[in-house]
Amino acid sequence: MTLTEYNNCVDTHSDALYRFILKHIKDKDAARDIVQDTFEKMWRKVDQVEAEKAKSYLFTTGYHTLIDYTRRAKKQGSFNEVQEHNLAYEKNYSDLKAILNEALDKLPEIQKTVIMLRDYEGYDYAEIGEITNLSESQVKVYIFRGRQFLKNYIGKMEVVI
């Protein structure tokens, strides 16, 4: 990969990678740090990465960096871990996006990741399998189970609206 291709890759994929990371951790500063770390890792291997596979490499590296970050964060803990307003669900709430985000947060990490890669970023099953080191059938199963949970959590659209 040349310097021009690397810079083009940064311009093209940094926003999508940032959105993907931010959806997982909901911390803008940490998401920026993870994206920066991801591009730094790519820069270190710029001569080994093909320009055509740069997006896949970025999302794979970003995903693994995100996993490392969340594991470190779990060990540290926080004084504000339990917030009472996050434990209740109001049926009269009409902001579907907020309800969907709340439901996504309740999914297991792997289901959340594959659903976001498929539905938010538009990856196909094989690419998601490459990024997450899962087989294509495992990806399909996790997406199915995650969507089932989301469907049951949100319920009927008439109830939400």
pLDDT in tens, 15-56: 999 998 888 888 899 899 999 999 899 999 888 888 888 888
Read off the CATH number of the domain in which 147 is found: 1.10.10.10
Please report whether residue 109 resides in a domain: yes
133: domain range?
Answer: 90-161
Residue 156 has pLDDT above 70, yes or no: no
The verdict on 52 and 25 lying in the same domain is yes
pLDDT score recorded for residue 139: 93
Task: Give the pTM.
Answer: 0.57
Residue 141 has pLDDT above 70, yes or no: yes
Q: What are 68-123's pLDDT values in tens digits?
A: 888 887 766 555 555 555 555 555 555 777 878 888 888 898 999 999 899 888 89
Residue 135 has pLDDT above 90, yes or no: yes
The verdict on 73 and 129 lying in the same domain is no
The verdict on 62 and 126 lying in the same domain is no
Please report whether residue 84 resides in a domain: no
Q: Which residue has the higher pLDDT, 157 or 35?
A: 35
Please report whether residue 85 resides in a domain: no
Please report whether residue 129 resides in a domain: yes
3-state SS string for the chain: CCHHHHHHHHHHHHHHHHHHHHHHHCCHHHHHHHHHHHHHHHHHCCCCCCHHHHHHHHHHHHHHHHHHHHHHHHHHCCCCCCCHHHCCCCCCCCCHHHHHHHHHHHCCHHHHHHHHHHHHCCCCHHHHHHHHCCCHHHHHHHHHHHHHHHHHHHCCHHHHC
